Structure 1
């Protein structure tokens, strides 16, 4: 995952990195993959919607800007998942999170960075749930091995618990990119007390698929969306799908292809999971847009540091996902972006179904910088390392 890690780099190394980033991001901004201009067939009798326009969601954007600048908790983060609680309120789920102090529009170099937080929302009021103490904050969710950390996945409510799949990571070298996935895990918290100590248990991890990208609950069935991230070995990212009845702690079945209504299309063996779709992001979403039509929202990862958010559509939660539609290009990214900085990139877009309708989908994406040095871009301008909130208008 392209998350923030603090690192120290020499000036020469950084100049080489910035030049390379500018070349990649510049190429990504110019290379447009084919997009669907209008409605396209999805399945018999069903066509995909078209994009009618994209606007900033000013309510959410303003709310998080006010809160982040206030210095009472969260001041910037990535991942930006959300879940609707039985109370009707939402909880926002973040991975790497900056905490106070803050001196907006800058961030002091003393600002701590912790690997995950929860931000409950009640009306327009936000608060932060973390580990540790106010003066010495720590991640809310922590592995048994002190040098490892969790990054958060797409959480949802099951019964009386908030369930969040997570991926566990460790550092394997001096570079910011020298990190290695270790395993998948499940965190459970009672919805009545999100400040409680979480229960953390293992999730399937034998195939090295990151089973945390998204969860979709349909009746008693929960679909789990994972990513096979080939990284340096091949570059591609492939979508995989599993399902479970009830809690994510129960026994999983893995989609092996074919009609998902048939038992033979599912296997109890994780290695039977098939590659469903290429070029998804480590974080994405699949939700029911309307009856009989599902929407997969993701960054297109066919190009490194691509700033294009795309959608695919299906008549089933497991695909096939077709009718590729370009939704938006993040204007912040690259040397020709709004920051004019070749280090800045956008990543990990997904939808928030509980805030959306069939004709207006609320989507977030994250913005970051390759200059993750203490005192670098993320300290000079606090607005970089904060989520973006957009409304994607669709035809009925």
Structure 2
């Protein structure tokens, strides 16, 4: 397997973040899902910094901390033939707001995967709430589907509750194959890892009745029957965000290494079917930015949540991946704006 940085993609997002001087301009975000939309390539981000990057590479503190940098829990960047532009919503005062606003002041939505739906796009969002003062003191509360019409991505045309009774954050990945849309979800374990589950709907509309892959290897209409997908030894642990994309007769599961906290390793496992079992995940890349020996020489810098961008690939042996970079010390991404941006890889895999 040949693995190399997709330097042009990484540089394009860096150049876009640094060049604009609009107070509503994207300067960094995580999650980094993507999909083809009717009017361009739509990039889905969760926590997002807007504003401007100073000449020294820093950003102003966030508005909530007395600065001028808007901070949102989700946003879009739409990349068209004319270049990229940031897409947000507006609050009642006309200030930038998430395209998918939280249902109340105590909770918010983070982006999961999305798919084109003919007249625009459908995006799964997971609702979270804060449980303490730390950046990781959060809890998942439920899932919804937001539908956006082309050209009006700043507000959803509709929001529909999705199954949420089995402690599963659905929408970690959406894969369309053979007349079905497969919906992958993650269940967080007490030690911070995730277990993967699988559902499907007939056709493209996620508002249709769901079926769930069970431990008996059949589909059930009850969410409580959704089984944890298996690896070679039975248990399969993943990161919270993944991708499962078909390449020929194989499905590639892209995940962060899950048995080491804050691992910088991107791994791939393979299966003959959407529901596994998957092979042992194998490390294909270690993010050079992370940890005390990384490019930032900062023990708090981490890499996380890799996934695939199949619409950017050329043939079934080509894989384009992104991963996120952040810091466990929030001040770091204020002092160094370039930390908090996606990085991209291109892999060439042998025929399977």
TM-score by length of 2: 0.90
> Among residues 327, 332, 335, which one is paired with 2:292 in the alignment?
335
Identify, as 1 or 2, the structure richer in strand. 2
Distance (Å, rounded) in 1 between the aligned partners of 2:305 and 2:324: 6
Contact 1:256 1:267 (8 Å CA) reproduced: yes
Q: How many residues align?
A: 333
Structure 1 residue ranges (4+ consecutive) displaced by more than 6 angstroms after TM superposition: none
Task: For CA contacts below 8 A with separation 6 or more, give which structure has more relative contact order.
Answer: 1
Q: For 1:239-388, what aligned pairs fall within 5 Å after superposition? A: 239-245=196-202, 246-259=204-217, 265-277=218-230, 278-290=236-248, 292-356=249-313, 357-372=315-330, 376-388=331-343
Contact 2:38 2:120 (8 Å CA) reproduced: no
- Over 3 Å counting, the alpha-carbon distance change for 1:175 and 1:324 in structure 2 is closer
Which range is displaced more, 187-196 or 361-370? 187-196
Contact 2:307 2:323 (8 Å CA) reproduced: yes
Deviation at 1:107, TM superposition (A): 1.0
Contact 2:89 2:155 (8 Å CA) reproduced: no
Which range is displaced more, 245-254 or 157-166? 157-166
- Over 3 Å counting, the alpha-carbon distance change for 1:234 and 1:377 in structure 2 is closer
Q: For 1:45-194, what aligned pairs fall within 5 Å after superposition? A: 51-52=1-2, 54-71=3-20, 72=22, 73-87=25-39, 89-104=40-55, 105-109=57-61, 110=67, 111-123=69-81, 125-132=83-90, 136-194=95-153
1:13-49: per-residue Cα shift (whole Å, max 9, x none)?
A: xxxxxxxxxxxxxxxxxxxxxxxxxxxxxxxxxxxxx
Any idea what SS the aligned residue of 1:59 has? Answer: helix
Unaligned runs of 5+ in 1: 1-50, 260-264
What is the aligned partner in structure 2 of residue 33 from structure 1?
A: none
What is the aligned partner in structure 1 of residue 233 from structure 2?
A: none
Contact 1:287 1:296 (8 Å CA) reproduced: yes
Q: What CA RMSD, in Å, does the superposition of the two structures yield over aligned residues? A: 1.7
Contact 2:30 2:46 (8 Å CA) reproduced: yes
Contact 1:63 1:124 (8 Å CA) reproduced: no
Deviation at 1:124, TM superposition (A): 6.5
1:40-85: per-residue Cα shift (whole Å, max 9, x none)?
A: xxxxxxxxxxx12x22212211211111002331100000000012
Unaligned runs of 5+ in 2: 62-66, 231-235
Contact 1:207 1:271 (8 Å CA) reproduced: yes
